[in-house]
Amino acid sequence: MTDRSNLLEKKYRAEADGLASAPAGYSGRVTWECPSNIALIKYWGKKAIQKPINPSLSFTLQKSVTSLSVDFLVHKADHELTLEFLLEDRPHPLFAERLMKYLQHVSQFMPFLKSMHLKMQSRSSFPHSAGIASSASSFGAIALALCSMEQKLFGNLRSENDFFRKASFLARLGSGSACRSVYGGCALWGITPEFEGSTDEAAIPVTDAINPLYANYRDSILVVSSGLKSVSSTTGHKLMEEHPFAAARVIQANHNMARIKQSLIVGDQHAFINLIEHEALTLHGLMLSSDPGFILIQPDTLEIIRKVRYYRKETGTPVGFTLDAGANVHLLYPANNEKDIHGFIEENLKRHCENGLVIHDQVGSGPVKIL
């Protein structure tokens, strides 16, 4: 399926002329806290520009968040965009370079950025060494902060809907999965006949459509490895372009989207668990069968999976796993099974985690504007 319309891009381009001249000397500060998210139906493979080859769906987390403060100053019009970036109070030249390119790219929709000085200070609630993808929460926070600046300067993003839609559109251009983090609960990105209003250009919130059982679903993140991944997501997405199973994967993802929607509506946890595990194993199967193939899971990942499946079979407890693009395992389960599952993790799974690190998170209500 292709997004034929580019409706949002056209709209934001058309509106850009009115967002060019901010008053020189104007300064301010905006601060946002944006959560990470965990995909249930995985985004894996993209087409131009930064659009997914298949729709994806995720739970937004609560505790795993990035906080971002932006101090901004409008220079004179002939000035160039300048950026200072601090991660956990320290310069991070690599991310600053990526961020600068991103800001230059999105300035076509926010021309006022071209004559700004920005000081961005970012910190995450989760340890940076935890191996949790921080690009979703980081670009979510960045996009929200940019929209707050636009709103302060021009007052044009009046409705909540307009505000978050533009933030999701901009977040996507930084990192695909980030567009889903802009909404709490459950978010969908990519065109699918299953959800009205879906688009490849931004995520949409779908929490209202699903069973309240999932509103406070738990996600315990078992940190198997905190090291830098041997192959980045960006490279993994690229390898899908020539992947022999790409066409079949798109069909499968669309099919799984229809099935997970049903399980989310009726609260069928058996179907839900089957689907999330199927998606996680498929994601890593696609990595294994890329050319060149690559392996991000580790022996402890497989050991955890084996134990979770055994525990579920033996006890009937509704707990399933999903994987991010790395070795870590996310265990998803209902709030009322928390006590038993925490006990199971402590006794059986913690030993497979690096330094015993487990982050107990849950589905959250979305980003918070601090300032």
Using CB under 6 A, list all residues that contact ligand DP6. 39, 42-44, 56, 133, 135, 175-177, 233-234, 237, 283, 324-325
Task: Rank residues 74 and 287 by Cβ distance to ligand DP6 and give the closer one.
Answer: 287
Task: Rank residues 54 and 362 by Cβ distance to ligand DP6 and give the closer one.
Answer: 54
Write down the least CB distance from residue 90 to ligand DP6, Å: 22
Task: Rank residues 49 and 247 by Cβ distance to ligand DP6 and give the closer one.
Answer: 49
Write down the least CB distance from residue 84 to ligand DP6, Å: 23
CB–CB of 236/290 below 8 Å?
yes
Write down the least CB distance from residue 238 to ligand DP6, Å: 9
Write down the least CB distance from residue 38 to ligand DP6, Å: 8
Write down the least CB distance from residue 43 to ligand DP6, Å: 3
Task: Rank residues 139 and 333 by Cβ distance to ligand DP6 and give the closer one.
Answer: 139
Task: Rank residues 63 and 342 by Cβ distance to ligand DP6 and give the closer one.
Answer: 63
Write down the least CB distance from residue 176 to ligand DP6, Å: 3
Which residue has tokens 């990942």?
Answer: 301
Task: Rank residues 31 and 362 by Cβ distance to ligand DP6 and give the closer one.
Answer: 362
Task: Rank residues 125 and 137 by Cβ distance to ligand DP6 and give the closer one.
Answer: 137
Write down the least CB distance from residue 327 to ligand DP6, Å: 13
